[in-house]
Amino acid sequence: MSSKENVVIIGNLKMNGSLVFYDSYLKKLKESLSNLRQVTVGLCLPYPYLFLAERLLKQSKIKWGSQNVGKFSHGAHTGEVSSEMLKDFSSTYVIIGHSERNTAYCESEENIADKFKMVKEWGMTPVLCVGETLIEREAGIMESVVQSQIKAVVSKYGADIFSDSIVAYEPIWAIGTDTAASPEQTNHMCNFIRKTIKKDSSQQVSNVKIIYGGSVNQKNTVQLFGLESVDGGLIGRSSLSTDEFTSICNLADSLSN
């Protein structure tokens, strides 16, 4: 296991919490994560609580952001939230193409590419989710599935757009279950994603992080984030408990020793 630098741990709070919950949650994390040395922490919250994150986390090392964004800049798009609006609350991270949105809201690959571009234009960091279903894995086509998800962005905007962005390998079968991908599966797919992006770029794509998401908890953190190919994680359920999330961040930080 190699010593790791610049690991990023992002909590995906999904549609959970309330004003009372986030008030206490953010204050607790600000305190409990104040001594991290190397790890960067982000929290992707439901939109209504971004103002609270800005208010409570401003003087901390924790960054925040959202779980989705509209693909247009403004106008007649009822129910959408623009990148500019997210910027108004000093957001850093924007999750794009999460499988829960793709399935429930029929997110198209073109929309995902446009959202990615818009987030970059506004100086924020897209966290692009890619990953295969169980049927696709069993059929042995996980590489081509993930490749086509990345190509959707590359073919429209070029691979160089991946500089300063994050790709989260999230196998759909591992999300919300108790079965994370194995270290071998994770290592293989994270390396594959990195190669796929590099292959298409005209120049060296700089600072693209490949992270893993899907049933991460404090027991598998070291195994998964200790892999050389993995730059951190996207944490769903385990980010809801301040104790468990703090412990994951501390374990990831200890990898930088």
Residues that bind ligand PGA (CB under 6 A): 12, 170, 175-176, 213-216, 234-238
Minimum CB separation of residue 44 from ligand PGA in Å reads 9
Query: From residue 201, how far is each of 117, 129, 196 by CA, in Å?
Result: 16, 19, 9
Minimum CB separation of residue 65 from ligand PGA in Å reads 13
> Binding residue per annotation — 12?
yes
Would you say 154 or 235 has its CB closer to ligand PGA? 235
Minimum CB separation of residue 239 from ligand PGA in Å reads 7
Query: From residue 176, how far is each of 61, 98, 226 by CA, in Å?
Result: 28, 13, 22
Closest residue to ligand PGA, Cβ-based? 236
**Do residues 99 and 177 make contact, with C-beta atoms less than 8 angstroms apart?**
no
Minimum CB separation of residue 237 from ligand PGA in Å reads 4
Minimum CB separation of residue 177 from ligand PGA in Å reads 7
Would you say 159 or 227 has its CB closer to ligand PGA? 227
* Residue 244 annotated among the catalytic residues of the structure: no
> Binding residue per annotation — 215?
yes
Distance in angstroms (rounded) separating the CA atoms of residues 27 and 242:
10
Q: Which residue has the tokens 């990953």?
A: 131
> Binding residue per annotation — 128?
no
DSSP assignments along 177-212, one per residue: SS-PPPHHHHHHHHHHHHHHHHHH-SS---SEEEEE
Distance in angstroms (rounded) separating the CA atoms of residues 112 and 70:
10
**Do residues 142 and 136 make contact, with C-beta atoms less than 8 angstroms apart?**
yes
Q: Which two tokens stand for residue 238?
A: 């385990």
Would you say 129 or 197 has its CB closer to ligand PGA? 129
Would you say 54 or 244 has its CB closer to ligand PGA? 244
**Do residues 29 and 242 make contact, with C-beta atoms less than 8 angstroms apart?**
yes
Closest CA to 168 of 132, 209, 135, 206: 209
> Binding residue per annotation — 16?
no
Q: Which is the catalytic residue, given 98, 107, 132, 136?
A: 98
Would you say 142 or 211 has its CB closer to ligand PGA? 211
Distance in angstroms (rounded) separating the CA atoms of residues 24 and 37:
24
> Binding residue per annotation — 176?
yes
Q: Which is the catalytic residue, given 100, 132, 136, 170?
A: 170
* Residue 98 annotated among the catalytic residues of the structure: yes
Residues noted as catalytic: 98, 170
Q: Which residues are annotated as a binding site for substrate?
A: 12-14, 176, 215
